[in-house]
Chain A
Amino acid sequence: MIDWKLVLEVIGILIYATFMGFIFMGIERKAMARIQRRVGPPIYQPIIDTLKLLGKKESVTHGFIYDFGPVFAMGASIAALLFLPIANFQLFSSNADLIVVAYMLEVPMLGIMLGAMSSGNPYSAVGVQRGLLTMVAMQLPYGLALIALIQHWGTFKLGEIVALQQTQGWSITVPALLLAFIVFDIVFQALLGLEPFDIITAPAEISMGPMVEYGGKHAALLFTQHAIQLFAETAFFAILFLGGASNLLELLIKQIAVLFIAIFVASIYPRFTIDQAAKFFWKWPTILGIIAVLLTV
């Protein structure tokens, strides 16, 4: 038997998430422009960009895996999104969905790298190498922050975490989880691929990193994937630390708040080199994460 309500909800959430993700990308560009005293593009610019890319006549392809990479990344982002309890929609929420989402948010990077490696471009190879090192480096504080959270609330279910936060106050009001919040926020920057840790794309050093070869429809797919991922990641953040939301508007406000922290950090700090980033991740965020975990025991 098909659960038609769930199907409709899933489609609705997907469309909403894609659209809002593009708007978030627009907000990101606009806010960065204003910090640099520019006017910036209109807020719907990423949508226009994506439509333009979809309208390109030619698409270079380097074989099956090259095409499969972005699709894989997009699928992972969608899966991560659908396991999140967005507002009052409990789509695929089940036991231990926190782990699933935390894992699924990492997979898109792997998908992009899978496709990028098959293009055989040395820039892609360098980008992939840096990306994997960043991922390895950020796993430790990321895991510690999640462990602190799980230990404090005593559950793996995102829905339950939201419910507990509604009754007992947000996660960031707990001192131990405030530390975890700081750690997670640093990791978040790397998850989004924003400035201090945008070593993977590094537009000025290695031209766009893994995405050098992608153009036309592949790039449009990657844009859409990034939009969905942006939405999913901000929603994940809001659910874990800002008490979730009972309706979409509340969630939207929290997501934008989270996004603005990321934008501010991204627009004022310069990029780390890859060795600095690895050292940094294994130093301060790890120390803070361990303290947070010990406090929650």
Chain B
Amino acid sequence: MESVEKPRVRVVGEEKVKIKKSFVKPWMGIKYLFKKPVTIKIPFEEIEPAPKYRGFHTLNWKTCVGCNFCGQICPARAIEMTWIEVDGKVEKRPHPKVDYGRCTFCQFCVDVCPTGALGFTENFYLTTGGLEEDLELYDWVPIHPDKVRELNEKFGDYRFPVERIEKKEDGTHIYHLRDGSTIEFKILGYGLRPPAAARPKPAAKPAPKPAEKKEAPKPAAKAGKPAEKPAEKKEEPKAEEKKE
């Protein structure tokens, strides 16, 4: 049997790998003096990122079902589910909000997304100043892939598609895209449970306290598997009513 035999290890003789020292041979290095430098002059020359380079996310808001698979698999916990109101209409399910301060661009969230709503583009440039309003850029609900593609065709420099995020007192966020158009929506709350404003029935209650909301999603995410979520959601509003 082979396992009984001695393992044959091939050793290359030391005399073969040992290099003779020389005073003259280093002068061979001079030959590069007259060769063309192998540098890419970045402001003047462009480099194409690889196709499917793992860059910023895109999200189709219509097909996202708010299952929170992405939030669960995210190793950096950069994804938080967000309740969004577009044009006065509340989205039925929460959408992921990606925090690029934490994101490692592993794109596990894209692989795990059951409906393919979460995707990614090759865009990778994002530089801002240090001001509070500049740093808002790092925390966004990804926008539709077609829009990003359109911007890429227009500019072709693979920068972050949003130029500036304007935040208003009542939770309205306005994304100023690079071509001048805007996307406006309102963030009602975070987490898996729908906030008071997002409830389908007119609840007629004061807005839920923020402290409660922040605590709420964690136990929900731990305890409930995503498949059970619809049932959970039905129950939760009642629970809240009881508390209050």
Cα distance A43–B29 when bound, in Å? Answer: 22
Cα distance A33–B27 when bound, in Å? Answer: 16
Which of B32-40, B76-84, B104-112, B161-169 forms contacts with chain A?
B32-40
Q: How far, in Å, is B179 (CB) from chain A's closest CB? A: 34
Range of interface residues on B (Cβ < 8 Å)? 10 to 19
Judged by a CB distance under 8 angstroms, whether B41 is at the interface is yes
Chain B residues with CB under 8 Å of A269's CB are: 26
Which residue in chain A gives the minimum CB-CB distance to B28? A268
Are the CB atoms of B33 and A268 closer together than 8 Å? no
Cα distance A264–B27 when bound, in Å? Answer: 8
Are the CB atoms of A31 and B27 closer together than 8 Å? no
Residue from A34, A267, A268 in contact with B37 in the complex, judged by beta carbons closer than 8 Å: A34
Using a Cβ cutoff of 8 Å, how many contacts connect chains A and B?
A: 30
Cα distance A40–B37 when bound, in Å? Answer: 9
Chain B residues with CB under 8 Å of A37's CB are: 32, 35, 37-39
Cα distance A264–B26 when bound, in Å? Answer: 10
Judged by a CB distance under 8 angstroms, whether A36 is at the interface is yes
Are the CB atoms of A268 and B41 closer together than 8 Å? no
Are the CB atoms of A39 and B41 closer together than 8 Å? yes
Are the CB atoms of A38 and B37 closer together than 8 Å? yes
Are the CB atoms of B27 and A268 closer together than 8 Å? yes
Q: How far, in Å, is A65 (CB) from chain B's closest CB? A: 40
Judged by a CB distance under 8 angstroms, whether B231 is at the interface is no
Cα distance A264–B38 when bound, in Å? Answer: 20
Cα distance A205–B180 when bound, in Å? Answer: 52
Which residue in chain B gives the minimum CB-CB distance to A31? B33
Judged by a CB distance under 8 angstroms, whether B30 is at the interface is yes
Cα distance A34–B30 when bound, in Å? Answer: 9
Q: Which of B28-64 contact A (CB under 8 A)?
A: 29-30, 32-33, 35, 37-39, 41
Are the CB atoms of A35 and B29 closer together than 8 Å? yes
Q: How far, in Å, is A30 (CB) from chain B's closest CB? A: 10
Are the CB atoms of B39 and A35 closer together than 8 Å? no
Q: Which of B1-33 contact A (CB under 8 A)?
A: 26-27, 29-30, 32-33
Are the CB atoms of B39 and A38 closer together than 8 Å? yes
Are the CB atoms of B32 and A264 closer together than 8 Å? no
Cα distance A39–B38 when bound, in Å? Answer: 8
Chain B residues with CB under 8 Å of A35's CB are: 29-30, 32-33
Cα distance A267–B32 when bound, in Å? Answer: 11
Are the CB atoms of A34 and B32 closer together than 8 Å? yes
Hey, which bits of chain B sit against chain A, CB under 8 A? 26-27, 29-30, 32-33, 35, 37-39, 41
A-B contact pairs, 24 of them (CB 8 A): A31-B33, A33-B37, A34-B32, A34-B37, A35-B29, A35-B30, A36-B32, A37-B32, A37-B35, A37-B37, A37-B38, A37-B39, A38-B37, A38-B39, A39-B39, A39-B41, A40-B37, A264-B27, A264-B30, A267-B30, A268-B26, A268-B29, A268-B30, A269-B26
